[in-house]
Amino acid sequence: MEEDLSSQSFHELIHDWSQDGPHAYPVTGHVMLDDESLRDGLQSPSVLDPSVDTKVRILHLMDALGIETVDLGLPGAGPRQFDAVLTLAREIVREKLSIEANCAGRTMVVDIEPMARVSQLAGLPIEACLFIGSSPIRIFAEDWEMEKMLGHIRDSVSFAAKEKLPVMFVTEDTVRSSPEHLASLFGEAIEAGASRLCLCDTCGAGTPEGVFNLVSWVRGWLKSQGAEHIGLDWHGHRDRGLAVANSLAAIAAGVTRVHATALGVGERVGNTAMEQLLVNLKLLGLRDDDLSQLPVYVKLVAQAVGLPVPVNAPVVGRDAFRTATGVHASAVAKAMAKGDVLLADAVYSGVPAHWVGRQQEIEIGHMSGASNVHYYLGRRGIESSPQLVANILAEAKKLPHLLSEEEILRIVSRTRRLADEQAVE
Both 378 and 301 in one domain: the answer is no
Both 203 and 340 in one domain: the answer is no
3-state secondary structure of 251: helix
Both 68 and 169 in one domain: the answer is yes
Both 59 and 137 in one domain: the answer is yes
CA separation for the pair 256, 262 (Å, rounded)? 20
pLDDT of residue 11: 65
Both 243 and 116 in one domain: the answer is yes
76 belongs to a structural domain: yes
Specify whether the CB–CB gap between 201 and 171 falls below 8 A: no
Find the helix or strand (DSSP H, E) in which 171 lies: strand 167-172
Residue 343 pLDDT class (50, 70, 90 cuts): confident
CA separation for the pair 295, 298 (Å, rounded)? 5
Both 63 and 206 in one domain: the answer is yes
b vs e for 258-268, b when ≥16 Cβ sit within 10 Å of the residue's Cβ? bbbbbbbbbbe
CA separation for the pair 316, 275 (Å, rounded)? 8
Specify whether the CB–CB gap between 58 and 304 falls below 8 A: yes
What backbone phi and psi angles, to 5 degrees, belong to 196?
-140, 155
Q: Residue range 8-34: average pLDDT?
A: 73
Which among 191, 194, 266 has a CA at the least distance from the CA of 235? 266
The residues pairing with 362 across neighbouring beta strands, listed in sequence order, are 323
Find the helix or strand (DSSP H, E) in which 69 lies: strand 69-71
Q: Residue range 102-130: average pLDDT?
A: 97
Distance from first CA to last CA of the chain, Å, rounded?
Answer: 41
User: Residue 386's domain spans which residues?
Assistant: 322-424
Which residues fall within 8 angstroms of residue 191, CB to CB, at 6 or more apart?
154
On the question of pLDDT at 78 being above 90, the answer is yes
pLDDT of residue 238: 97
pLDDT of residue 16: 76
Per the structure, the count of domains in the chain is: 2
3-state secondary structure of 238: coil
pTM: 0.91
Residue 3 pLDDT class (50, 70, 90 cuts): very low
On the question of pLDDT at 335 being above 90, the answer is no
Q: How large is the angle between the packed helices 52-64 and 79-94, nearest 10 degrees? A: 40
On the question of pLDDT at 183 being above 80, the answer is yes
Specify whether the CB–CB gap between 48 and 305 falls below 8 A: yes
Both 214 and 296 in one domain: the answer is yes
pLDDT of residue 1: 36
pLDDT of residue 45: 94
What backbone phi and psi angles, to 5 degrees, belong to 225?
-95, 5
On the question of pLDDT at 102 being above 70, the answer is yes
311 belongs to a structural domain: no
On the question of pLDDT at 4 being above 60, the answer is no
On the question of pLDDT at 6 being above 70, the answer is no
Instruction: Give the number of residues written for the chain.
Output: 425
b vs e for 270-295, b when ≥16 Cβ sit within 10 Å of the residue's Cβ? bbbbbbbbbbbbbebebbebebebbb
pLDDT tens string 262-318: 999 999 999 999 999 999 999 988 999 999 999 999 999 999 999 999 999 999 999
Residue 164 pLDDT class (50, 70, 90 cuts): very high
Both 234 and 173 in one domain: the answer is yes
CA separation for the pair 261, 277 (Å, rounded)? 10
Which among 81, 78, 67 has a CA at the least distance from the CA of 38? 81
310 belongs to a structural domain: no
On the question of pLDDT at 63 being above 70, the answer is yes
On the question of pLDDT at 2 being above 50, the answer is no
Both 146 and 42 in one domain: the answer is yes
Both 331 and 401 in one domain: the answer is yes
Both 343 and 244 in one domain: the answer is no
Both 176 and 73 in one domain: the answer is yes
> Which CATH number belongs to the domain containing residue 240 in this structure?
3.20.20.70
Q: Residue range 325-351: average pLDDT?
A: 86
Q: Which one of 305, 335, 350 terminates a domain?
A: 305
On the question of pLDDT at 10 being above 70, the answer is no
On the question of pLDDT at 357 being above 90, the answer is yes
pLDDT of residue 277: 97
On the question of pLDDT at 251 being above 70, the answer is yes
pLDDT of residue 381: 93
What backbone phi and psi angles, to 5 degrees, belong to 34?
-120, 125
- Which residue type is seen at 257? R
Helices of type H across 193-340: 208-224, 243-253, 274-283, 294-305, 326-337
What Å distances lie between residue 402 and 364, 385, 396, 407, CA to CA? 6, 21, 7, 10
3-state secondary structure of 38: coil
